[in-house]
Structure 1
Amino acid sequence: MATPLNRIRNLGVIAHIDAGKTTVTERMLFVSGAKHRAGEVDKGNTVTDDDPEEAERGITIYSACVRFPWREAQINLIDTPGHVDFTAEVERSLRVLDGAVVVFSAREGVEAQSETVWRQADKYHVPRLVFINKLDREGADFEAVFKEVRDRLGANPVAIQIPVGLGPTHAPQPFRAVIDLVKQQMVTFPGGKEGKDAVYEAVPEDLLPTARKWREKLLEALYDYSNELMELALSEEPIPEALLHKVLREATISHMIQPVLCGSALHGMGVQPLLDGVAAYLPSPLDVPPMVGFVPESAGKHKGKTEEGAPKKIVRKPDPDEPFCGLVFKVLPLKTGDLHWVRIYSGTLRGNSRVLNARQDKKENVAQLWRIHASKKDEQIDEAGAGDIVAVLGLRDSVTGDTLCDTRDPILLESIEFPETVISVAVEPENTTEKKKLAEALAMLRKQDPTFRAEESEETGQTLISGMGELHLEVIRHRLERDFKLNVRVHKPRVSYRETVAGVAEVEGDCHRNINGVQHTAAVRLRVEPFTPTGPLAAKLPPVVVSIDSGQNLPDQYLNVVLEEIENAASGGGTVGFPLMRMKATILGGTVHETEATEIAFRTAASLAFDKALRTAGPVLLEPIMKVEITTPDDHMGDLVGDLQQRRAIIHQTEQRGVDTVLHAEAPLANLFGYSSAMRSLSQGRASCAMQPTGYAPAPDEVMRTFMGE
């Protein structure tokens, strides 16, 4: 029997690495009865980290989906990685989820990747709860983390729980319970790691003043969202618990607040109330806005466009009786056939049916539908409805971000955008017989991971693989060796540079050529200049914006040819062969010969004008810059700062976080290869760091000269 839509919760657990996401997920599975014993990351026996590489490293690399009941709710939970190299897993998960739990360590607080996942949740308008974990750790500080969430993330956290005590068992006042500010009761967890019960009891007398202070803060934060609540408070009447739940839910779903809960997942404290919060405050598929898509171009010019020429919008409600539409958000290549993870937004999807891939305009067979458990097939089902997440067997051409829909009612949903790769290495098989096997393995990995690239270099004939960081490529290499039994040689990492221009240049490209006795003559005038787009549409613009000057004089026949040639040239790379970005090219016009003007002439003239403009404006090499956050004891600060300065790093800020110092810096990726090992060596293994791409900046002249062979 299908679960009613209002009881479904599609939930993601997101956080910085080591904040405790996977432990929270394991504990949820255990207390819900979906698992008999909670696994531990350090022992490599967790459900969601089922890949050998994950178990070995103790980190999440691939998002995993588990389904379990809690009270009246049915939860589809996706556990995501915390390492920036695997940010695509977070991106694709948040795109299809309705709500999220963001986990913070009570000791480390808001870290570099915490900011990234928070921004990703903002981008996809995902309501979220905050769970401050690890309150039993040395140096835990609930109030400091609460303040950081507000100040560093620009959030509006509202505490609905506070901890009783902080720190490990040997601390003067160890963490031992939480106070529920909505119920005005203390919650204890007598079973510890092995327990599933949360016991509610009266708040002890000595804790009442603190509880009342935080309860008043909670009510003050909610007055803005409910007149009824305000009136009860002004008349000093008791506030019903049901009204508080209602206001908290509405404000959370509207992105006005983020309720804050707390605990220690490893020691079985706080997870049951967190699940209650998920069921009470996070949205069901009925609470999120209906999906808006477009009529695909394949539907025909008149069907798919408005009178103004814009694509027609279609709205699909989360209703099993609406036409089917869903989004492919992950592909797992298997020898028996690829497993496609699909979020169903409307209608009903049945096994042994046919659907339309709207982006590719291809019909696909849905052979089987499966429930997912971690990353594997769990239970075959006949059909699944709106709001559900399922695995599909039988699709041949669909990839991540593709829309599947009813063949009679096509709709195209917005796809998923992934960040550009920042690092490349050359790989080659040990012998020529394995070359084909390597190409097939890389194609399979590329299908699974949208941020992984593999292509053959025209210059060297080597296969270049590109990814989001050193760890990303290291995991890929290990998979080639372990899963595909390929021994590959890996060469030195290569940075993905970009190019732009230093200044403005207006040039003319001329073509005077005789080809097979026919004269081809044309001239094209072009301007190139640096250009950094801003505003909400900036992300939608191409790296090189090509525009047409309003005063240009070319007839449409030749203007379209010139425009196409300039766009092709702009996508083909700059002076030293790297992709171009932050640049604008404007077609100013040209000269049309009365008898010798041809399309070939204008293509040639446009290409020559573009090359000439790049050289005249002065090429600039842009290098990827990484945001670096290092946490270290004071003793090693001097050595780490000196090492960073040698790597051309700019240190923006240092701050005290408990007993440690946190360095915030930016440094070129090219100078950070092997940095993790160097940092551990300099700090005797006591420092930790997090990196994430922050953009591009001009590289020093000597780097450019290296590529130009000077």
Structure 2
Amino acid sequence: MGVLAHIDAGKTSLTERLLHAAGVIDELGSVDDGNTQTDSLALERRRGITIKSAVVSFPLGDVTVNLIDTPGHPDFIAEVERVLGVLDGAVLVVSAVEGVQAQTRVLMRTLRRLGIPVLIFVNKIDRGGARCAGVLRDIAAKLAPASVAMGAVTGEGRRDARFVPYGPGDADDALAETLAEHDDALLAAYVEGTPVPYRRLRRALAGQTRRALAHPVFLGSAITGAGVPELIGGIRDLLPAARGDAGGPLSGTVFKVERGPAGEKAAYVRLFSGTVRVRDVVPFGDGREGKVTSIALFDRGSAVRAPAVEAGRIARLHGLTEVRIGDAVGRPPRLARQHFAPPTLETVVVPGDPSGRAALHAALSQLAEQDPLINLRQDDVRQEISVSLYGEVQKEVIQETLAAEYGLGVTFRETTTICVERPAGTGAAVELIGKGGNPFLGTVGLRVEPAPIGSGVDFRLEVELGSMPYTFMRAVEDTVRETLGQGLYGWQVLDCVVTLTHSGYWARQSSAHGGFDKSMSSTAGDFRHLTPLVLMDALKRAGTRVYEPMHRFALELPADASAAVLAELARLGGVPGAAGPAGSAYRVDGVIPAARVHELEQRLPGLTRGEGMLESAFDSYQEVRGPAPARPRTDHNPLNRKEYLLHVIRLV
């Protein structure tokens, strides 16, 4: 089960309360005091925010709950993404004071799209400014139309606020009306005015919740404990339990990787099927394997050594030295999908001591193992290292982590936007073995053409599969995908089809003494070196267009401030869409370049007397107007044949 929320909604405090109610901890920790069970990093305790997901396990009657506490700050959305693929259900926390916020909506949209059952917990009913009725309306309007309030609140906004659960006869009509949308028998009874027994309604609610069709809403306070017993009952009775087969084929997912004090890797694995034992050699990823040296199971708030882990559980496995986040263990359990938008910002990391560049690269490489979306880029020409980001807070966390864990002081260059390229047309090129100044013992012909948006890179064959050894074919495909990381303007090339149109090689030859003669025999290296030249030649003929990331925004502001805000949007390149009154405020929707969102956030308070509210999230890529921005290349530049050959084979 995952606990998800917008930052400061009380997600980690709720986790503490659940652990206390289950008898796992004797005393409640505090986020403000930095002594919570799941925020174990010193940086998390100091800043009072969750940065890394944490796992705790506790019993609720005959059900064991493996709970994953996730970050709430949008800069760490990648950490949330890795958790979603292993969840049976989730609790989404909403603040009764702040209500439905931007990140709350992003999370709920994703949970609904993935069909993950969700309970909603409205927290902070004891705080001044709590507005439970308004938040329930917002949940129905903005998060989940099929939300079902499970009770009412007394003493709202006071320390003694309480949650009073509904029983038989309380709000039965409203519950039946919501459930009838997906239950024909209930719909018939509702239309005919026939009373439905409360027990029948509860069964229908449990069934629809487990199918992610209905979303029960509990209200309470993680600090006082109000409403938490009822939420626990909902977790136990309404969310689906895992049904893994311990004797089945091995299948699991690695959703987190961390390193121990000695630098050893530990992989957090959710096992869907099968059993893993200590000393088992397990396959993972794309053909890698490793021997499990130890297993830690999560039990009653701590990790304990165990001889084995069975389906349905989460374990920490040691010994898989080459494991990476997102790897399947055994059979892939489900299609790997990216649930959230990619990072759209990047920055150059500058070491405080120029002599520490190698140590910085090693440290950032380890951080990239824990967060692959950091997307480390090494520019050997300029001796620079770049990382991808979701926001400025992530930059601060990287800086503090490097200082605390690796003793490295760093600064950052100005944050820039990450663009992408797409082919503008179709282009083809070919290099024939032994002809036209081709110094490599291989023939490669490639055609590049556009593909539908969102389709990625599709590699196809127009030659016989047996026309070359498989290792040569694989070398071409792997190199194509790697080379498209930098297009004509230096950005990653997306949404294209690359077809191998020509192939050829020289078979293995022996010298006069019977030994292998490399000068007369093709190797995979020939194809790895030749493919970038052919591909970039084809891409030049096709041409590319550069696209910048756009955010969809929703602005709520005083009506008399709309003219000034619309003028500012125009200056920042924003394109307003729907606009009009929204209650007592004025609402403007539209899109704006991702690079200008931060500037809009800074300008908004002054333009709206501090009353403006902005929600924004990645929407799509839009073609850049005007001159296309370029990014310096970090490879040997196959666009320049002379320079490329000089670097690759020291041959002009």
Gaps of 5+ in 2: 505-520, 634-652
Letter in 2 for 1:397: E
Query: Which is further off, 667-676 or 617-626?
Result: 667-676
Q: Does 1:77 align with 2:67?
A: yes
Specify the SS of the correspondent of 1:459: coil
The answer for the alignment partner of 2:342 in structure 1 is 420
Q: 1:627 aligns with which of 521, 528, 552?
A: 552
Q: Does 1:122 align with 2:112?
A: yes
What displacement does 1:99 show?
A: 0.7
In 1, distance between residues paired with 2:220 and 2:582?
20
CA separation of 1:342/1:23 partners in 2, compared to 1, >3 Å: closer, same or farther?
A: same
CA separation of 1:249/1:55 partners in 2, compared to 1, >3 Å: closer, same or farther?
A: same
What displacement does 1:454 show?
A: 1.6
Q: 1:521-572 CA distances to partner (integer Å, 9 max, x unpaired)?
A: 999695x554434xxxx5xx32x445578xx999956997998599458625
The answer for the alignment partner of 2:391 in structure 1 is 469
5 Å-filtered alignment, 1:134-533, equals 134-136=124-126, 140-153=130-143, 155-164=145-154, 167-169=156-158, 176-184=161-169, 211=170, 214-223=171-180, 239-286=196-243, 318-336=244-262, 337-357=264-284, 359-371=286-298, 378-405=303-330, 411-414=331-334, 416-418=336-338, 419-502=341-424, 504-505=425-426, 526=447, 530-533=450-453
Letter in 1 for 2:593: P
CA separation of 1:352/1:631 partners in 2, compared to 1, >3 Å: closer, same or farther?
A: farther
CA separation of 1:498/1:237 partners in 2, compared to 1, >3 Å: closer, same or farther?
A: closer
The answer for the alignment partner of 2:37 in structure 1 is 47
Q: 1:165-189 CA distances to partner (integer Å, 9 max, x unpaired)?
A: 6x524xxxx99444433445xxxxx
Letter in 1 for 2:488: T
CA separation of 1:434/1:599 partners in 2, compared to 1, >3 Å: closer, same or farther?
A: closer
CA separation of 1:706/1:604 partners in 2, compared to 1, >3 Å: closer, same or farther?
A: closer
Specify the SS of the correspondent of 1:265: coil
> What is the alpha-carbon root mean square deviation over aligned residues?
4.4
The question of whether the paired residues in 1 share the 8 Å contact of 2:277 and 2:307 is answered with yes
The question of whether the paired residues in 1 share the 8 Å contact of 2:146 and 2:178 is answered with no
Q: How many positions carry a matched residue from both structures?
A: 611
The answer for the alignment partner of 1:298 in structure 2 is none
CA separation of 1:180/1:439 partners in 2, compared to 1, >3 Å: closer, same or farther?
A: same
What displacement does 1:218 show?
A: 0.5
CA separation of 1:688/1:222 partners in 2, compared to 1, >3 Å: closer, same or farther?
A: closer
Specify the SS of the correspondent of 1:401: coil
In 2, distance between residues paired with 1:109 and 1:275?
22
Gaps of 5+ in 1: 1-10, 185-210, 287-317, 406-410, 592-597
The answer for the alignment partner of 2:493 in structure 1 is 580
Specify the SS of the correspondent of 1:702: coil
Specify the SS of the correspondent of 2:77: helix
CA separation of 1:599/1:470 partners in 2, compared to 1, >3 Å: closer, same or farther?
A: same
The question of whether the paired residues in 1 share the 8 Å contact of 2:444 and 2:500 is answered with no
Sequence identity (%) = 28
5 Å-filtered alignment, 1:54-133, equals 54-133=44-123
In 2, distance between residues paired with 1:369 and 1:640?
54
The question of whether the paired residues in 2 share the 8 Å contact of 1:118 and 1:153 is answered with yes
CA separation of 1:605/1:77 partners in 2, compared to 1, >3 Å: closer, same or farther?
A: closer
CA separation of 1:649/1:266 partners in 2, compared to 1, >3 Å: closer, same or farther?
A: farther
CA separation of 1:277/1:659 partners in 2, compared to 1, >3 Å: closer, same or farther?
A: farther
What displacement does 1:164 show?
A: 4.3
Specify the SS of the correspondent of 1:18: coil
In 2, distance between residues paired with 1:653 and 1:481?
46
In 2, distance between residues paired with 1:519 and 1:215?
77
The question of whether the paired residues in 1 share the 8 Å contact of 2:269 and 2:314 is answered with yes
Letter in 2 for 1:181: Y
What displacement does 1:487 show?
A: 0.8
Letter in 2 for 1:132: V
The answer for the alignment partner of 2:627 in structure 1 is 702
In 2, distance between residues paired with 1:437 and 1:260?
49
In 2, distance between residues paired with 1:619 and 1:650?
24
In 2, distance between residues paired with 1:371 and 1:91?
21
Letter in 2 for 1:450: P
Q: 1:379-420 CA distances to partner (integer Å, 9 max, x unpaired)?
A: 333433221112223332222222334xxxxx3434644453
CA separation of 1:637/1:15 partners in 2, compared to 1, >3 Å: closer, same or farther?
A: farther
The answer for the alignment partner of 2:636 in structure 1 is none
The question of whether the paired residues in 2 share the 8 Å contact of 1:509 and 1:606 is answered with no
What displacement does 1:12 show?
A: 1.0
In 1, distance between residues paired with 2:141 and 2:205?
21
What displacement does 1:157 show?
A: 1.9
Letter in 1 for 2:271: I
The question of whether the paired residues in 2 share the 8 Å contact of 1:348 and 1:384 is answered with yes
Letter in 2 for 1:699: V
- TM-score, normalised to structure 2's length? 0.79
CA separation of 1:631/1:138 partners in 2, compared to 1, >3 Å: closer, same or farther?
A: farther
Specify the SS of the correspondent of 2:287: coil
The question of whether the paired residues in 2 share the 8 Å contact of 1:225 and 1:247 is answered with no
Q: 1:217-257 CA distances to partner (integer Å, 9 max, x unpaired)?
A: 10233346667767887998875544333221111112222
What displacement does 1:97 show?
A: 1.3
The question of whether the paired residues in 1 share the 8 Å contact of 2:247 and 2:274 is answered with yes
- TM-score, normalised to structure 1's length? 0.73
CA separation of 1:148/1:233 partners in 2, compared to 1, >3 Å: closer, same or farther?
A: closer
In 1, distance between residues paired with 2:557 and 2:44?
26
CA separation of 1:653/1:229 partners in 2, compared to 1, >3 Å: closer, same or farther?
A: closer
What displacement does 1:323 show?
A: 4.5
In 1, distance between residues paired with 2:493 and 2:438?
37
Letter in 1 for 2:270: R
The answer for the alignment partner of 1:201 in structure 2 is none
Query: Which is further off, 326-335 or 152-161?
Result: 152-161
